[in-house]
């Protein structure tokens, strides 16, 4: 009995020591010069820093979130969740699955080519170049405008690629960029902890933190895909180099979760420097958190790393041969190398 007590005391002391070391490491801001030097010398580091500034807090916007909840059909969503089997613990998982379904089936539309403004069909639309946004389009955070010419009636139709999620709430169409952008705001509107996932080879998707599963879960709203991180490299045969998560509390290299084969060279930055840059940004994002919050998040990071080390044979989970992505036309998927063929 006395021995047990002594052991418990020692264990507690070790844990307290470990906790304080983890927190101290996070509070240490002495490595700013290395970070600045990397920003000066490495373009990829600058790109990541720019994306972090743009994305990490972007969706923590009460006005945007309220707009989403005012626009969507909450009755349908909640009654569909209630009709699924489960308990309180997995409620959020079921809600996320319903949001994926609702978003893809009832709300948002995929758009390779917009409908012709004159004859209403997208059948005969041909890509006819890129244009600058008008001043009206530019109000809604519009990067470029794609121009399409109708082969039947000759009309030109503009397809502005909006980034403003409130504008997307109105237009309800786009490709993976628009889909992911608005869907992440959907998740945030329901108070679901989630983050933006960026792949260097031109795809984006989301993840949410499942308290039930105690891990980050892959979500691709274009594919109505829940927890299938293997679909890109295995099913689509997509070749990728870097996959990075941007969230409110951190920026993380999550390539190991997604790049299970077909890895492209990771030659943009030295691996050690990459890890340093992401850690540095993450430290700053957590600057205002309490010690306890910093510690809990660090434990979660550690768990995520362990998940990758211990994961064995993700491929066995796929259960099927490559079949390509669902969203987009056959030609478009082929041009992106995402049609499942080598
Ligand atoms: Zn037409």
Whether residues 280 and 193 share a domain: the answer is yes
Going from the Cα of 94 to the center of ligand 1, the distance in angstroms, rounded, reads 42
Give yes or no for residue 317 having a pLDDT over 60. no
> Do 106 and 122 share a domain, yes or no?
no
User: HSE on the CB side for 96, CA within 13 Å?
Assistant: 27
Residues 268 and 303 in one domain: yes
- Same-domain check for residues 120 and 189: no
Q: State residue 275's pLDDT score.
A: 97
* Given the residues 93, 116, 142, 203, the one annotated as active site: 203
pLDDT digits (tens, 9 = 90+) for 9-62: 999 999 999 999 999 988 887 889 999 999 999 999 999 999 999 999 999 999
In a domain, 15, yes or no: no
pLDDT tens sequence across 156-201: 999 999 999 999 999 999 999 999 999 999 999 999 999 999 999 9
Residue 80 and residue 219 in one domain: yes
One domain, residues 272 and 215: yes
Shared domain for 273 and 193, answered yes or no, is yes
The dihedral over CA atoms of 313, 317, 323, 329, expressed in degrees to the nearest 10, equals -110
Same domain, 190 and 209: yes
CB neighbours of 229 closer than 8 A, spacing ≥ 6? 218, 257, 258, 314
Domain presence at residue 222: yes
Residue 222 annotated as catalytic: no
Total tally of structural domains belonging to the chain = 2
| Residue 57 annotated to the active site | no
CB-CB contact of 190 with 206 (8 Å): no
Q: Does residue 310 have a pLDDT over 90?
A: no
What CATH code is carried by the domain that includes residue 59? 3.10.620.30
> Of the candidates 171, 191, 217, which is a domain's last residue?
171
Which domain-ending residue is among 171, 206, 241?
171
Residue 270 Cα, ligand 1 centroid: separation in angstroms?
51
Query: Tell me, what's the pLDDT at 318?
Result: 53
Query: pTM for the complete prediction?
Result: 0.90
**pLDDT confidence of residue 316:** 43
């Amino acid at each position: 009995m006395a021995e047990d007590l002594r052991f418990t005391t020692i264990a507690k002391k070790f844990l307290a020591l470990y906790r304080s070391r983890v927190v101290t490491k996070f509070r240490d801001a002495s490595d700013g010069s290395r970070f600045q030097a990397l920003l000066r010398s490495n373009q990829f580091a600058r790109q990541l820093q720019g994306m972090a500034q743009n994305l990490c807090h972007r969706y923590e916007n009460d006005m945007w979130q309220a707009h989403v909840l005012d626009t969507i059909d909450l009755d349908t969503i909640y009654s569909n969740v209630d009709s699924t089997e489960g308990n309180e613990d997995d409620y959020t998982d079921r809600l996320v699955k319903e949001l994926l379904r609702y978003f893809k089936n009832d709300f948002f539309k995929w758009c390779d080519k917009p409908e012709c403004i004159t004859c209403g069909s997208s059948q005969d639309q041909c890509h006819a170049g890129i244009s600058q946004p008008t001043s009206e389009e530019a109000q809604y955070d519009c990067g470029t405008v794609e121009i399409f010419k109708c082969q039947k009636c000759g009309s030109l139709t503009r397809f502005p690629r909006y980034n403003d999620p409130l504008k997307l709430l109105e237009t309800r169409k786009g490709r993976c960029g628009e889909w992911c952008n608005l869907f992440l705001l959907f998740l945030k509107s329901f108070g679901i902890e989630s983050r933006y996932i960026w792949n260097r080879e031109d795809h984006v998707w989301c993840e949410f933190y499942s308290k039930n599963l105690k891990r980050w879960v892959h979500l691709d709203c274009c594919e109505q895909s829940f927890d299938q991180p293997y679909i890109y490299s295995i099913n689509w045969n997509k070749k990728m180099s870097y996959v990075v998560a941007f969230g409110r509390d951190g920026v993380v290299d999550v390539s190991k979760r997604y790049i299970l084969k077909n890895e492209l060279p990771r030659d943009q930055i030295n691996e050690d420097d990459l890890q340093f840059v992401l850690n540095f940004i993450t430290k700053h994002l957590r600057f205002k958190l309490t010690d306890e919050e910093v510690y809990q998040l660090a434990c979660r990071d550690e768990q995520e790393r362990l998940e990758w080390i211990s994961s064995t044979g993700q491929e066995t989970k796929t259960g099927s041969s490559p079949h390509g992505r669902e969203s987009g036309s056959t030609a478009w998927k082929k041009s992106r190398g995402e049609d499942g063929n080598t």
